Amino acid sequence: MDIIIYNELDASRVKKQVEKVCDAIRRDDFYSAEVKKLTGTPYYRAKLDDTNRFII
């Protein structure tokens, strides 16, 4: 699976978490990436840490 990340995204504070989530998604391991559907939208979110989320 290809993952496209916005080129002006400043994820420097959570770089390791973003890489971990992207690796899990590429392996189709949505459970480890804590991916959940956002109600009422076509989007999903992955939990990076207690305060940061990754919109998919």
Range of the domain at 46: 32-56
The confidence score (pLDDT) of residue 16 equals 92
Question: Which run of H or E residues covers position 46?
Answer: strand 44-47
Q: Is residue 43 part of a domain?
A: yes
Q: Is residue 44 part of a domain?
A: yes
Q: What is the pLDDT of residues 1-56, one digit of tens each?
A: 677 788 888 888 999 999 998 898 889 898 988 899 899 998 889 988 888 888 88
Total structural domains in the chain? 1
How many whole angstroms separate alpha carbon 32 and alpha carbon 1?
16
Phi, psi for residue 31 in degrees, rounded to 5: -65, -50
The confidence score (pLDDT) of residue 10 equals 86
The confidence score (pLDDT) of residue 1 equals 63
The confidence score (pLDDT) of residue 4 equals 78
Closest C-alpha to 2, from 20, 17, 22:
22
Q: Is residue 20 part of a domain?
A: no
